[in-house]
Chains A and B, each alone.
Chain A
Amino acid sequence: GENVEQHPSTLSVQEGDSAVIKCTYSDSASNYFPWYKQELGKGPQLIIDIRSNVGEKKDQRIAVTLNKTAKHFSLHITETQPEDSAVYFCAALVVGGGADGLTFGKGTHLIIQP
């Protein structure tokens, strides 16, 4: 089955700096890659996703890049703000593969230092 590795497990950046979280996946058939943000006591919130036919996608301060050849994808957050502090999860899925359960990475605890 699919395996998703996520790094780093903890990331501390100064407010206003950029943060990058990286994930690799094992199943070359995976074609959908969402990113979730989870705040303390809440459920994961979908913040951005990318399909395998796209190399990059941006939404204001957030961007995701995908390298299908290397089987890795990354989340980029620019101009970080205190409210960006949370745990971020990447995930992968083979859409149309018969099973629609997301395979998640272990998460990255992002800390924004004031």
Chain B
Amino acid sequence: DSGVTQTPKHLITATGQRVTLRCSPRSGDLSVYWYQQSLDQGLQFLIQYYNGEERAKGNILERFSAQQFPDLHSELNLSSLELGDSALYFCASSSRGSGPVSYNEQFFGPGTRLTVL
């Protein structure tokens, strides 16, 4: 168990809908990352938040957005869903920036499986 929790485990929705995925990082971790895993694209970095602020963006679509709240949990919002958005969405956390210099060891949650019908 990595200490990172994600809800829900599974989500089934229809095209055009909007969903919210939730992540709670490991205790004390200030950085949260979102990744998408699909068969054709593999594991891809979407976005990173550090202590409530956006730190870096990867291959995130404009229809997707995220935020990190004062209690450090994060939410990934996916809107105008398309069939191709069906994938596993992982959240990871790290302690980077919260103490001595670290090399960004990232610990992954169990993921949310999104199915768009």
Contact = CB atoms under 8 A, between A and B. Distances in A.
B-side interface size class: 20 to 34
Interface in A16-65: 31-32, 34, 36, 42-46, 49, 51
Nearest to A103: B45
A93 B104 contact: yes
B111 A43 contact: yes
A101 B56 CA distance: 7
Contacts of A101: 33, 35, 45-48, 56, 58
B110 A42 contact: yes
Contact of A34 (B4, B48, B58, B106): B106
Given A49-B103, A51-B103, A107-B42, A100 B108 contact: no
Given A100-B31, A100-B56, A44 B104 contact: no
A-side interface size class: 20 to 34
B103 to A, nearest CB: 5
Contacts of A32: 103-104
B64 interface: no
Given A31-B103, A100-B55, A102-B45, 8 more contacts: A43-B110, A43-B111, A95-B104, A99-B48, A100-B56, A100-B94, A101-B33, A104-B44
Interface of A: 31-32, 34, 36, 42-46, 49, 51, 89, 93, 95, 98-107
Interface of B: 2, 4, 31, 33, 35, 42-48, 55-58, 90, 94, 96, 103-111
